[in-house]
Each structure stands twice: as structure tokens, then as C-alpha cells.
Amino acid sequence: MELARRFDVPLLEIDTHELEDPRYLSNSPERCYFCKSELWIRLGAVARERGFDTVIDGTNADDLGEHRPGLRAAATHGVRSPLAELGWTKNDVRQAARGLGLPTWDAPASPCLSSRVLYGLEITPARLQQVEEGEAYLRTLGISGDLRVRHHGAKARLEVAPEQMGRLQANWKEIDLAFTRLGFAAVELDPDGYRRGGLLALASRSPR
């Protein structure tokens, strides 16, 4: 909202209802398909009401080789991805944004909070709030770059860049107390650090 005001970009907020969809709440690896379908249905209605013929998103070329059920939802609902279609990578987007003077050009990736919740563990507002508050707390300690609080139910697992691990370890007593207050029975530091798709790899190793 602040960026929209700063650059005079028209902004419309709409309500979505993915938290009313049991398919989304069940949190299977297809969760993003149901979430994005809800979003594109709502935005498609707005587009038709306003006389637009296309809805676009910010998918870029680096996203195309990953497990992204949301891309199937976009195809189903006719959503276009101009950055991906032009072959622009995340780095291309960042450099262009930097050239335009956008303050978010080097902001770390921040996918939806549900992507932090262990597959098969029901998505609830309370769990999403735990993740959000946990990550916000870690930022107050000076943790920069990519950061994830992975929600494993009673346990939180922290992923940060390798160069940030020392800062976490130096504040571990405070971190342990803070996450206890958030309702976790335990918190641990992932020794492998931040990586994309960590929960998906874990799900693929789980017995069926």
C-alpha cells in the first residue's frame, strides 16, 4: 500500500476465501492450485467488470522449473505471465527494478505463509500467525536475507542463510523463549540453512 501511494499506482483490495475451502486447508502439495484458483476467479470477475481482457501475474523464468501448482491454476483461468514469457529471470527483474529506483529491488523472496507449514498439517489462521510473528521476531534480531520459519506442528524449524546462523546461535536462549511464547513446544535450527522447496522434499521422503 505504501508503494502504491508513493508511485501513484491505482490499488484495489479484494477479499478471497481460500480459508473456507477444505481442499486448501488440508494442505496437500496441491494447496497452491486451490489458493490461486480462488484468487484468479475473484480477479477475473474484477477484470470483466472493468472491461479488461487480461489478468497478469509476476511469475518469472526462474519459477518455471519448480513445483508450482499455482501455474496450472493460472493456465486454467487464462492468466498471463509476461516476465516468464519474455524469459526474464529474478536477477533481470531485480536489475530492472534497481534501474527504476524501486526500493524493493533487493527485497528477499516472500511467498505466502502457508508455504511454511508442513504438508498434511492443516492450515489455520493461528498457525499462519505463529509463522508470521516468528519471522518478524527474527528480523528484529538483525537476520537479513532469506528466512523461513517452518511449521512442523509442535516444533518450529528455522532456515536462514549460512552467514546468518552465527547470529541465531548467539541469541538462541532468547529465540527459544520467544518461540515458546508463540506456542511452540520446541524450536531448532536447520543445519542445511535456507533452501527453496525444503518441505516438498520432506514430503516426498515421507511414507505413504
What are the residue ranges spanned by the domains of the chain? 2-99, 113-205
Rounded CA-CA distance 108/138 in Å is: 14
Asked if 156 and 186 touch (Cβ cutoff 8 Å), the reply is yes
pTM recorded for the entire structure: 0.83
Residue entry with cell 481482457:
53
* Whole-number pLDDT of residue 188: 97
Asked if 13 and 43 touch (Cβ cutoff 8 Å), the reply is no
* Whole-number pLDDT of residue 207: 43
Measure the N-to-C terminal CA separation of the chain; round to a whole number of Å.
43
* Whole-number pLDDT of residue 208: 38
* Whole-number pLDDT of residue 203: 52
* Whole-number pLDDT of residue 202: 58
Q: How many CB atoms sit inside 10 A of residue 168's CB?
A: 16
47-56 contact pairs (CB < 8 A, 24+):
54/78, 54/80, 55/79, 55/80, 56/80, 56/81, 56/82
Q: Which amino acid is present at 40? A: W
Asked if 193 and 162 touch (Cβ cutoff 8 Å), the reply is yes
Domain range 113-205, its CATH number among 3.30.70.2210, 3.30.1490.390, 3.40.50.170, 3.40.50.11740: 3.30.70.2210
Which portions of the chain are predicted below pLDDT 70? 197-208
Candidates 161, 117, 125, 129; CA nearest to 143 is 161
Beta bridge partners of residue 159, listed in sequence order: 148
Q: Is the four-CA dihedral 183, 171, 112, 26 of positive or negative sign? A: negative
* Whole-number pLDDT of residue 66: 72
Q: What is the CA radius of gyration of the chain?
A: 19
* Whole-number pLDDT of residue 48: 96
In the chain, what's the furthest Cα-to-Cα distance?
56
Rounded CA-CA distance 159/175 in Å is: 13
